[in-house]
Amino acid sequence: MRIIRTKNYEEMSHAAANLISAQVLLKPNSVLGLATGSSPVGAYKQLIEWYEQGVLDFSQVRTVNLDEYVGLNKEHDQSYAYFMRDNLFDHVNIDPAKTNIPDGMNADGAAECARYDQVIADLGGVDLQLLGLGVNGHIGFNEPDDHFSCGTQQIELTESTRDANKRFFSSIDEVPTHARTMGVRDILQAKRVVMVASGKNKAEAVKAAFFGPITPHMPASILQYHPDFTLVADEDALSLL
Ligand code: GLP
């Protein structure tokens, strides 16, 4: 595990964008595993800037997103499909046909999860997986549990996650109760994993996940085992170390 320590969110975003950019330069048809949430937004902005400057070309890049809420369609402004278009896809030359996000509207959850695992397998796996970190240590929407998950699964969101994400909705009642997420095994199988963490509210989770025992009650802790894992975190997120 490597830690890149940065002063603040801007530096964290710049460093993470550099890692993603290097991946795309070295392998133009990379499979990027992408994340949502406020943590990766700055990195996406930087990638857009480099694309506009002609430094980066996304025309061959393929993407698989980590997760999606159940019950939100692609046009809903809180769906992760919308988030990705808004924060990255609509601003670079990525081919929409090469982007993948679990379908939150497929009424058959099990079939949708199986389909998504097949999508990942057909792409030959993920070259670089970008992750945020939930305040409870979740990755994607893999919530604390008694075991680590395998493939894509439908999960019930914990109250703490719904509470953390309610800031994006008009009330907590509107926050979906379920989501579909790549499994922990899927994430671990990525060739390279990069996590961005910023702010004091992530400090407890950073400390527990990367300086504590490996346990499914702190899902991110399994990344300690990953052979190519980089945590890009700012001083606030690292403040309890
Ligand atoms: C959500 C997402 C995660 C994300 C986490 C942290 O629950 N499913 O993938 O990492 O929130 O979000 P933020 O970066 O906004 O703190």
Q: What is the pTM of this model?
A: 0.96
Q: What percent of the chain has pLDDT over 70?
A: 100
- pLDDT score at 219: 98
Q: What is the pLDDT of residues 131-190, one digit of tens each?
A: 999 999 999 999 999 999 999 999 999 898 899 889 989 999 999 999 999 999 999 999
Question: Known catalytic residue: 65?
Answer: no
Cβ neighbors of 205 (< 8 A, separation 6 or more) are 133, 134, 135, 136, 137, 197, 218, 220
Q: Using the mean position of ligand 1's atoms as its centre, give its distance from the Cα of residue 212 in Å.
A: 21
Cβ neighbors of 203 (< 8 A, separation 6 or more) are 236, 237, 238, 239, 240
Question: Known catalytic residue: 68?
Answer: no
| Pocket of ligand 1 from Cβ distances under 6 Å | 35-39, 66-67, 132-134, 140-141, 161, 165
Residue of 9, 34, 36, 160 to test ligand 1 pocket, by largest number of atoms within 8 Å of CB: 36
